[in-house]
Amino acid sequence: MSTDDAHITARVEALEELLAEKGLLDRAAVDRVIDHFTVNYGPLNGAKVVARAWIDDEYRKRLLANGTKAIAELGFGGPEAAHLTVVENTSSVHNVVVCTLCSCYPWAVLGLPPGWYKSAEYRSRMVATPRAVLTEMGLAVSADVAVRVWDSSAETRYLVLPMRPSGTGDMTEGELAELVTRDSMIGVAVAHDPGR
């Protein structure tokens, strides 16, 4: 944890303590909200969507045609996913998502947005120099692969369908879901290689 993160965490804990002492905050209610967003609205939901698309080509087609309707088949949805568009990474195209105006984000399948996603630096630089930003984030995209940047908005939010890692042909849907990360569904990473 960085010094800035530690400072923010300490401030949040102090504020929570003060509000609880004054009877203005129920800690159990806070824990329930956090659990809701980490369990019911988390990246695990998106990972399940991706894994299903990897094993079921008909589902993948429905997902790419109407993301909102397809994720509803698995029980996911809500206002932040009402207009969900899914873009697919291929051997020739790498997709990445940004929200240049704010932090529009499909919470139902990705959970809470990471701090870097909301930062002005990410929002501006990803549009201007996507390859450089991806490289800085640990993902080098080959020069022969096109990088497409999708700008989320209140009207349309995006989810990246990452490429299925090679050597996963015998894996179950549940095992495949474990290879999918939030960052791979934003497009700043790829799905985990099961061999590593």
Alpha helices in the chain (DSSP H): 3-21, 27-35, 43-55, 57-65, 67-73, 107-110, 115-118, 120-128, 130-136, 173-177, 182-186
List the catalytic residue out of 2, 91, 92, 103: 103
104 is catalytic: yes
Task: Please give the DSSP secondary-structure letter assigned to residue 191.
Answer: P
CA atoms 127, 130, 133, 137: torsion sign: positive
Q: How far apart are CA 149 and CA 187, in angstroms?
A: 9
Q: Which residues make up each annotated binding site for Fe(3+)?
A: 99, 102-104
Domains located in the chain, CATH noted: 3-38 (no CATH), 44-186 (3.90.330.10)
In the chain, what are the helix, strand and coil shares in percent, each to the nearest 5?
A: 50, 10, 40
Average pLDDT over residues 90-95: 98
| Residues 180 and 162 sit within 8 Å (Cβ to Cβ) | yes
102 is catalytic: yes
pLDDT in tens, 18-38: 888 888 888 888 777 766 666
**What is the pTM (predicted TM-score) of this model?**
0.82
List the catalytic residue out of 2, 92, 104, 152: 104
Q: Over 90: is that where the pLDDT of 148 sits?
A: yes
2 is catalytic: no
